[in-house]
Amino acid sequence: MSQRQFTIKRQVLTFVILLGLGITLPIGGGLFFHHYRQVQMRLEATLLATARITATTSSAALAFNDSAAATEILASLRYDPLISSAILYDQQNRPFATYNNKPDGRPEIAPSEISVDVVHAGETYGRLVLRGAIDSELRRTAITWILAYGIGLLVAFFATVFIARRFQKQIANPLQRLANTALRITHERDYNARAELEGSAEITDLAIAFNAMITEIARRDDKLAHKVEALNKEVLEREAAESALRDNQHVMLKLSREAGMAEVAVGVLHNIGNVLTSINVSSDLLGTRLANCRRRPVANLRTLLDQPTARTAAIFSAHENGHELRKFISTLSGSISTEIDEGIRLLDITQTGIAHLKRIVSSQQSLARTSRISEPVMLCEALHEAITFARTVSRNFTPIDEFPADSTLVLADRSMVVQILLNLLINAHESILTHAPAKPRISVQIAPPNQGYIPLSITDNGLGIAPEKLVSIFTYGYTTKLKGHGFGLHNSANAARTLGGELQVSSPGLGLGATFTLSLPIYNSV
């Protein structure tokens, strides 16, 4: 508080005093030096005039060498208080007559002396030197001015102090009290405080305006407090709603993942069934061929060895090891026949196991089939839900450049639509992460209906797809990712067909992004 009093009151006093001194000192100083110079010039002019008059008066006495007359003329200078002494020199520069000074024989002129030539009838007979008391006169003048100037400064000081006190009483003190009231309101938030109506008319008007402003601030603060209370209540309600929404999102995400796993399982079971069918067909063919070829070659070989012809008997009998060879071949043919029989037996067991496995796969496929409910679905809402799930999966999800506000309804299973869109959005995000463009963006567009279908396109500026790979992008097991499995797009395309729609892809090429378009049948309420 003391610091603020010094700022408002004492600095006002200091300012007024410095202002008065700043005006008085330069003006007084200028007047003093001007008068001092005028007095100095006037004294010098008076001394010079006196010297010339005295020289003219004493010229005859110096011309006729009358020192007594010259001395008497110089003695008349005693009536001039400005002249302290005088010396009259002859033509040989010797003192001829003096006044109030002893002749010293000095021809030089002192700083306070005036020298003039003594001329009579046009001829110079000497010179007159007057010594004046100019310095003492100037000193008296300076002392007189300094005293008068000091008295003026003292009067000006008291006048400025009086003016400053009046200024403080009329302006500074009311402003100080107004500032104290403002500080009290600021620190204590006491909106009942009011400024006093005192001081000049302007200060009074300022206090009135300040009080009106405080009244308005109090009203608005009270209104703001009610709004803050309502806002806090709304924030709490929104936090509870957001918490419930996050819980629902986690549940939906879990259900979507489970549905996706079920779709993958169905696809895997389908492909396993296809492979088992192929194996079963191959095993049937193999069993048929074994059954047809096992007896004739082996039986013919055994007949040949057991009942040889005359030609073959000669061959075996001609050789020293012919009998052992016939015995070995007979034994080998019997062993081959036995192995073929064993292979046929094992093949029968394998076919039985394959048939059992096919029954298991068929049973699992029937269990994996889920019922789909077709209902009117707002495509824009399903898209919004898929984007929310995608941002839940990835905190740094790529920004969506465009988000259409479309109210068109499609006839489909909502969960399957959300799952397809979620898969497409995540694929677009991962493609952008792989390519890392300067400005990663994903744009979504819903086109007008076309032949009973609503196309929804998701475009990214990610890695893109080579033209030769577009035909294989939906093939089961085909993927462009380093760690992909090739299930997502395959299952999404199958799901789109299940919903009565279609999933298409287009890309300008590698590094130029890609566009996936999901077309679903429009809902017709008629």
CATH number of the domain where residue 480 is located: 3.30.565.10
- Asked if residue 205 belongs to a domain, the reply is no
What's the pLDDT score for residue 225? Answer: 84
DSSP structural state of residue 95: E
Q: Give the closest residue to 461 by CA, choosing from 440, 479, 434.
A: 440
301 shares its domain with 382: no
344 shares its domain with 388: no
* Distance between CA atoms of residues 298 and 332, nearest Å: 10
Residue 197: what residue type?
Answer: L
Q: Give the closest residue to 433 by CA, choosing from 488, 384, 395.
A: 395
Distances (CA, A) of 467 to 327, 439, 507, 513: 67, 24, 7, 12
- Asked if residue 90 belongs to a domain, the reply is yes
Calculate Rg over the CA atoms of the chain: 64
What's the pLDDT score for residue 107? Answer: 42
Q: Would you state the structure tokens that stand for residue 473, as one six-digit string?
A: 């992008």
User: What is the full per-residue pLDDT of the chain (526 aa) written as tens digits?
Assistant: 444 445 556 666 677 777 767 777 788 778 878 887 888 788 888 888 888 888 888 888 888 888 888 888 888 888 888 888 889 898 888 898 888 865 444 444 445 678 888 888 888 888 988 888 777 777 888 888 888 878 877 887 777 777 777 776 666 677 777 777 877 777 777 777 777 776 667 777 777 887 788 788 878 888 888 889 888 988 998 888 888 888 877 777 776 666 666 666 666 665 576 566 657 666 766 777 666 665 556 566 666 666 665 556 565 666 666 666 666 766 776 777 777 777 777 777 776 667 656 656 665 555 455 555 678 888 888 888 888 888 876 767 888 866 677 777 888 888 889 889 999 999 889 888 888 888 888 989 888 888 889 999 999 999 898 888 888 888 877 776 666 666 778 888 888 998 899 999 999 988 899 999 999 998 876 5
- Asked if residue 63 belongs to a domain, the reply is yes
Residue 148: what residue type?
Answer: A
Number of independent structural domains in the chain: 3
Residue 75 sits in a domain of what CATH number? 3.30.450.20
* Domain, as residue range, for 51: 2-161
What's the pLDDT score for residue 424? Answer: 92
Q: Would strands 123-132 and 83-89 be described as parallel, antiparallel, or unpaired?
A: antiparallel
- Asked if residue 407 belongs to a domain, the reply is yes
298 shares its domain with 387: no
What's the pLDDT score for residue 325? Answer: 66
259 shares its domain with 137: no
Domain boundary among 334, 368, 402: 368
347 shares its domain with 435: no
Burial environment of residue 368 by CB neighbours within 10 A (0 to 12, 13 to 18, 19 or more): middle
- Asked if residue 223 belongs to a domain, the reply is no
- Asked if residue 228 belongs to a domain, the reply is no
* Distance between CA atoms of residues 185 and 204, nearest Å: 19
Q: Kindly report the number of other CB atoms within 10 A of residue 230's CB atom.
A: 10
267 shares its domain with 382: no
